[in-house]
Chain A
Amino acid sequence: MARFLAKRIAGAFVVLALVSLMSFAIIWLVPGDPTAAFLDTSATPEQVARLRHELGLDQPMIIQMLDWYGRILHGDLGHSILLNRSVTAAILERLPVTLSLAGVALTLALIAGVSAGIVAAVNHNRWPDQVVMTAALFGLSVPDFWLGIMLILLLAVKFDFFPTGGYVPISEDPLGWLDSIVMPAMTLAVIQVGFIARMTRASMLEVLNQDFIRTADAKGLTRTEIMLHHGLPNALVPVLTVAGIVAGALLGGAVIIEQVFSIPGVGRLIIGGILSRDYPVIQGGLLFLAVIYLGVNLAVDILYAAVDPRVRLE
């Protein structure tokens, strides 16, 4: 187990090195620089040049890169040009928002997706299966921003169940937090429910055809016992992979939904950074997302070993 983990962590560092290089290099492919957003159009070339010098943008690329690596090795993601504060602080401030949104969405998606998948598999080719599969296809196909807007129109504007947007920290007002998080989390979860339900169904159907299910049947166990003790634990192994992908997508990919519901999460921070060419925010944000993805994947690997004893040996 320790060796398995050590190998995984070593691998994660290689990936991080590559990502940091790419997130540094990628901004050179985008035209424009932060001076355009910082100064107005009447700025003289001298003013622009002075700002570029202050920001270190007039240095050769290699120096800028070494500078960037020197800083991130000290845990410093740099200073945001536009926000005029440290990128680390800006990310950490928004992290609880992104985490709660992703956490609630993932929980909803897993509960609904796994149960729907089981119902479909147990009723294979009968009407509950068809209903679940149709709903799952709908969930996968509907654009999330559209669904978000529709939910706002229906549940916030027309019926006033939830606020139209914004975010209340849980430390301030737990009920208000729940109120603010339910709709965006639901919107995010809908797509993932479809994904997880289809995966659970396929995996469960495969498991139910295995010999050991027949063995369980020969033991005289009830159908429920067979499903819960023999079917589900085996079917969940591939579902775990999907859950990892979903968690990664939710943590890094809630950008559009954060925009729709005006939630100040990490995704919105990065989008803002990209639009204003705020290089440190882009670079730091991307690196941060990569760390999150790697962390989730590592957690999934560890969970594998917990769910499937065969993994431990490898």
Chain B
Amino acid sequence: MARPILEVKGLTTTLAGGTITILEDVSFGLQPGEVLGVVGESGSGKSMLALSVMGLLPKAVRRTAGRIVLDGEDLAALSPDRWRERRGSDLAMIFQEPMTALNPVMRVGDQVAEVLRRQGIPAKKARQETINLFRKVEIPSPEQRVRGYPHELSGGMRQRVMIAIALAANPKVLIADEPTTALDVTVQAQILDLLRKLQKERGLSLVFITHDLGVIAEIADRVLVLYAGRVAEIAPVRKIFDNPQHPYTRALLASIPEIDRPRGRLVTIEGAVPSIGAMPKGCRYASRCPFRRDICEQESPRLGLVSSDQAAACVQPFGFEKPQEEALA
């Protein structure tokens, strides 16, 4: 495989002066032109992962270990100012809430042009380029829209503006943090189509964060499953769906409602994610895992290769045998 454009190694972040760990020893690589899907429940650390890579962690959260290597350069070793220069040029991010992510008193065109201006593009050219970008993200009548304000646009249109802002940076890596979650279902599909199209056209290297496995199936090449701040499993998307190795991944898949399944209660995962301040000593999924053994509560499993391109953090990954449906039911 080629050298990854982005490589995160052993990323650990803590809260409240180190007493609470949010992300623990998270590692993954992103190949150029690849889409890495990141899934996990609320509070699993998905957004913290995105903000860590961007260098935008909230003040209370500290990165205590780990390297974030972008195109051969460790961002974590840079001064905050040098890291900032990477944002809006090498790194760009699309946020979850298009309703609040745009400045309400600034024309949307200016909010895009601002990124272009930073690259030294003169104002007039930046204005023209902004219109081109609006066309790229399929905003109708872009010449008029650039002069509009966010409140004049729908949620879907605002998310398109956010995408235009991200594209304006022409980034090496684009991070999309639940970009469709806050939108209506039909608009979700449109935005997803647009992102997929732009990714293909431009060969974007994309980290796509979501809690929706359906979305993952549509867009991702590989998938990273986060559970309670740790990587549970990482594998190509087909293997995640066809041959999941971690019991949590399997439980997640089982909980997707299916339209042709006989009617009944929706499948859920028993129990809840351990609370952030009270993580168990061993495997964090142990309390909810139907395959739990004594050892699971003693030591936390390391992420181990199951095959050449699939790794799971479980003492007894499923291997290649058939899923044990009855154990999950």
Contact = CB atoms under 8 A, between A and B. Distances in A.
B298 interface: no
B95 A234 contact: no
A215 B165 contact: yes
A292 B84 CA distance: 49
B93 interface: yes
A313 B100 CA distance: 19
Nearest to A309: B149
Interface in B64-116: 84-89, 92-93, 95, 97, 100-106, 111, 114-115
Q: Which 5 A-B pairs have the closest CB atoms?
A: A220-B88, A220-B87, A211-B100, A219-B88, A309-B149
Interface string A182-220: 000000000000000000000000000011101111111
Contacts of A310: 104-105, 149, 151
B223 to A, nearest CB: 24
B1 to A, nearest CB: 29
B102 A212 contact: yes
Contact of B105 (A218, A221, A308): A308
Contacts of B54: 218
Contact of A220 (B86, B151, B162): B86
Interface string B116-131: 0010000000000000
A219 B117 CA distance: 11
Contacts of B89: 220
A161 to B, nearest CB: 42
A214 B95 contact: yes
Contacts of B100: 210-212
B169 interface: yes
A215 B87 contact: no
Contacts of A234: 103-105
Given A218-B54, A220-B85, A211 B114 contact: no
B153 interface: no
Contacts, number: 75
A220 B104 contact: no
B104 A212 contact: yes
A219 B105 contact: no
A211 B151 contact: no
Contacts of B328: none
Interface in A207-242: 210-212, 214-222, 229-230, 233-234, 237
Contact of B92 (A218, A221, A229, A307): A218
Interface residues of B, number: 28
A212 B56 contact: no
Pick the most buried of A214, A218, A313: most chain B CB atoms within 10 A of its CB. Answer: A218
B182 to A, nearest CB: 11
B88 A230 contact: no
Given A211-B101, A229-B114, A309-B104, 8 more contacts: A211-B95, A217-B56, A218-B88, A219-B114, A220-B89, A220-B115, A233-B105, A309-B149
Interface string A279-314: 000000000000000000000000000011110010
Main secondary structure of the interface of A (DSSP, over half): helix
Chain A, interface residues (CB within 8 Å), range = 20 to 34
B209 to A, nearest CB: 14
Contacts of A308: 104-105
B106 A218 contact: no
B105 A309 contact: yes
Given A214-B56, A214-B95, A310-B149, A219 B103 contact: no
Nearest to A237: B105
Contacts of B85: 220
Contact of A307 (B86, B105, B111, B114): B105
Contacts of A309: 104-105, 149, 151
A230 B103 contact: yes
B114 A218 contact: no
A222 B102 CA distance: 17
Contacts of B87: 217-220
Contact of A215 (B101, B149, B169): B101
Contact of A219 (B104, B118, B151): B118
Interface string B253-285: 000000000000000000000000000000000
A200 to B, nearest CB: 16
Contact of B169 (A210, A217, A219, A233): A219
Contacts of A216: 103
Given A309-B151, A310-B149, A310-B151, A218 B104 contact: no
B95 A215 contact: yes
A221 B102 CA distance: 14
A215 B104 contact: no
A211 B106 contact: no
Interface string A34-78: 000000000000000000000000000000000000000000000
A310 B99 CA distance: 14
18 contacts: A211-B100, A211-B101, A212-B100, A212-B104, A215-B103, A215-B165, A216-B103, A218-B54, A218-B93, A219-B165, A220-B169, A221-B114, A229-B106, A229-B114, A233-B103, A307-B105, A310-B105, A310-B149
Contacts of B86: 220
